Structures are given as C-alpha cells and as structure tokens.
Structure 1
Amino acid sequence: MIGTLVNTGAVVAGSAIGLAAGTRLPERIKIVLMQALGLAVVAIGLRMALEAQHTLLAIGCLLLGGVTGELLRIEQRLDNLAETLSRTLRSNSSRFVEGFVTATLLYLTGAMTIVGSIQDGTIGDPSVLLVKSLLDGVASVALASSLGVGVMFSALPVLLVQGGITLLAAQLAFLSQPAVLDTVNATGGLLILGIGINLLEIGRIHVGNLLPALLYAIVGALLFP
C-alpha cells in the first residue's frame, strides 16, 4: 500500500501548494498554466493511444463504453458526489465539482494505476506508483491553482481505487498481461486526450461517461488476445 499512500499524499500536498499559490497568481497566469497542462495531457494521451497495438479494439471499447456510461449517467453521478462533498464541506469554490471530477478522471485513467497497484500488491514494488505520484503531484499544483479545493478531494478516490486494486492484487494479476495492458493503455490514452481537450476548452467531452470503456478493454483483450 506504500505506493498508494504516497500517491494520495502527493495529490494532497500538490493541491495545498496550488491552493496557496492560486490566491497570489493573476488570472492570466492561471489561464496559461491550465493551457500548458492541457497541452501536456493531450500529448500524453496521444502517445499512449498511438503506441498501443490494439487501437481498433480500443475504439470499439470506447464506443461501447460511451453508450454504457450515458445509460448509467456516470458523469452525472460523479457531479452529484462532488456537489454533496462541496455542501458537506461548505466550500465556497464555484469550480469544486469541475476540479474534483477532472482530477479524479486524470489520476485514475491509465495503465499506470493498474500496473503500479498490482506490482505494489503482489511483489511489494511501488516504483510505478511513485513515478505516478510525482506526475500527479505536479498536476495537482496546476489544477488546484485554477480549479480550487475540489482537486484536493480527488485524493479520496485515488486512495480507494488504487488501494482496492493493491489489496486484491493477487486475484487481479491477470490484468498485468501484455494484451490487457496494451488495450487499457490505448483506451486510457483516448480518455486522457479527452481530458486534455476539456482543459483546453476546445470542446466538452463527457469523459466520465466513457469510463466503462476501460472495463470493455480488459474483457476484450482477454477474449481476443
């Protein structure tokens, strides 16, 4: 669990730095930071998607995932959760929901979450999650400075999801098969690309409703390795 605990701490620490800096930064600086982060996220998503071998399978999973997510209204449920947290904490941040949802999707979408958690749980190697912690911590600084305290509370789903995979690692070891990782990486890359487009405000992609695509990617890779 050490990797997940460090990752959670990095999100909280990065968010705290971003919140402290955000009150002192002019609005134009915040805009530039978000644009820079958006471009970086787009580049990461493209690299993940283009390096994978199972691109067609990932596209099919994305289509199925989108339909499933819309029927289940996943993004609306995430928004409702964030709004409940905001009311409970009596937060004055007008962008609490956006910060929570954006950060949660960014930190949990991708193969590093699965690979790192399984390695940490099975052989006690937290190295992948430690690298992810560094990336998430830096992203938290930029996100929190612009989107507010909601980014900090994305540490909770990071702890629950990564911690859960780590604790169940022995039973989920099949997720580390090359075909599964390749398909998850391709699908996750497309989702991360969507997050980057949202950060750049080019359009509005309901990335939360596309999350079932990751489950379809795992099943598809196992059925058609």
Structure 2
Amino acid sequence: MFLLGAAVNGICIIIGTFLGRLFHRIPENMKTTVMYAIGLCVIVLGLQMGLKSDNFLIVILSLVFGAVIGEFLGLEDQLNKLGNWLEKKIGTSGQGSISQGFVTATLIFVIGAMAIIGGLDSGIRGDHSVLYTKSIIDGFTALILATTLGIGVIFSAIPVVLYEGLIALFAKGINNVIPEALLNSFITEMTAAGGIMIFAIGLNLTGLTKVRVANLLPGIIVTAIIVTILYMWG
C-alpha cells in the first residue's frame, strides 16, 4: 500500500497533538525553553540541508522567483485565512490559536526533503522507512508544539497526508517518465531550497524573525523548472 507511510505520518501527528494537550500544564518557562530548543534544532537541520546544493545559483533563483510568486498569490495569507476559518468554526481550546498552530505545524511538517524523498520511496519502491522515521520526528514535534500553540497543530495532519500521498501517487509511474539523473538533481536542489525555508522556520520559532515562509513555497516548483531546463540543455 503506497499510501501507508503518509497515513502513519498523519496518525503520529494526531497522537502527538493529543498527548501535547494532555500535558499542556507544563510550566511556561519550560515550554519556552523547549520551543527555543526545537527552533535551534530546526535551524541546524535547515542549514545542513541548505549546504547540500550542487549549484547554489539554482537555489537562489528558485527562492527569489518563488518569493515573487508566493507574495503575488498571498499564500501565507491564504493559509492564515484557512486557519482562522477553522478557529471560528471550532474555537480555541486552552493556550495558542488554531490558526497559529495549524500554519506553523504545516510549514514544519510539509517543507523538507524527507516528505518528498519519503513519498518517492513509498510510490516507486514501496519503501516507507523514510516516512516512518519522519512520523516519529513529527509526532514528537507535534507534542511539543501542541503544548504551546494549541489544538490547531492537529489539523496540519491533513495537508501532510495529502502532500505526501500525492507525491507517492504520482511517483508510482515516475521511473517511466523522468530520467534518474534529472530526478536525482531535482532532489538535491530541492533539498537545499527546502533547507533554507526550514532555516527560516527555525528563526521564526526562536522569535528572531517573522519570515513569511509560506510565500517561499513556489520556489520548489521553480527549482523543478530550472533543473529540467538545465538538464535538457546539458
């Protein structure tokens, strides 16, 4: 079942969120320090990923054009509107807003190489090990996020399952369409571009910046376009 990895990832996020709400009475100082710790770890992870590029010019162009497209489409605002709609329908429960929890958790769980590589492995080889590993990480992260950002974290499971599931679905026939060299090049540059976005998320979590990371997401598509053009010309 090629969607098993994505389903497990969503379930772990849901379980982690519920556990986080059960332990929401953790002292504020402890939660703040833990949140900073997660932010710092996310920064380091993003930095490691960002340095994996074979051609950093591709990453720069992808993020610049991706930012222009994202700002034009207002992706960050659309995500916030969706979160606010959920908040109005369900209301808040305890600390944190549904909008903030949904948007922050979605960006953390969706952006990154593990989601794409895991989805590709699930679809191409039926190997869910990458997504299983990601599920454990996301479940623990959801637990911590839920203690601070609230029940909204649970709704991030929906875009995570859809995102990873769609990648796995399309990946089932990807070997017959995309050359292996092109696919490997895309994964490498996408990892670097996604790593910079994750780096920005870490900065946001520590309160140092307020980067509109969602508006950088089109950079992943731009990366695919640039890599494809260079491959065809090469």
* Length-normalised TM-score, structure 1: 0.95
Distance (whole Å) between structure 2 residues aligned to residue 82 and residue 29 of structure 1: 26
Alignment correspondent of 1:118: 120
Identity %: 36
Q: CA RMSD in A?
A: 1.5
Alignment correspondent of 1:36: 37
Kindly indicate whether residue 180 of structure 2 is the aligned counterpart of residue 158 of structure 1.
no
Alignment correspondent of 1:214: 220
Give CA deviations for 1:91-122 in whole Å, capped at 9, x if unaligned: 34542211111110111111211111121122
Conserved 8 A contact 1:48-1:189: yes
- Structure 1: any 5+ residue segments left out of the alignment? none
Distance (whole Å) between structure 2 residues aligned to residue 91 and residue 8 of structure 1: 22
Give how far 1:25 is off: 0.6
Give how far 1:84 is off: 1.0
Distance (whole Å) between structure 1 residues aligned to residue 55 and residue 112 of structure 2: 15
Give CA deviations for 1:111-141 in whole Å, capped at 9, x if unaligned: 2111111211222110111111111111111
Listed as ranges, the matches of 1:12-51 within 5 Å are 12-22=14-24, 24-51=25-52
- Structure 2: any 5+ residue segments left out of the alignment? none
Conserved 8 A contact 2:59-2:192: yes
Larger Rg: 2
Listed as ranges, the matches of 1:63-74 within 5 Å are 63-74=64-75
Q: Which consecutive segments of 4 or more residues in structure 1 shift more than 2 A?
A: 90-95, 170-176
Alignment correspondent of 2:12: 10
Distance (whole Å) between structure 2 residues aligned to residue 65 and residue 184 of structure 1: 12
Q: Which range moved further: 161-170 or 101-110?
A: 161-170
Distance (whole Å) between structure 1 residues aligned to residue 125 and residue 99 of structure 2: 36
Give the paired residue count.
224
Give how far 1:189 is off: 0.2
* Length-normalised TM-score, structure 2: 0.91
Give how far 1:9 is off: 0.7
Q: 2:150 aligns with which of 142, 145, 148?
A: 148
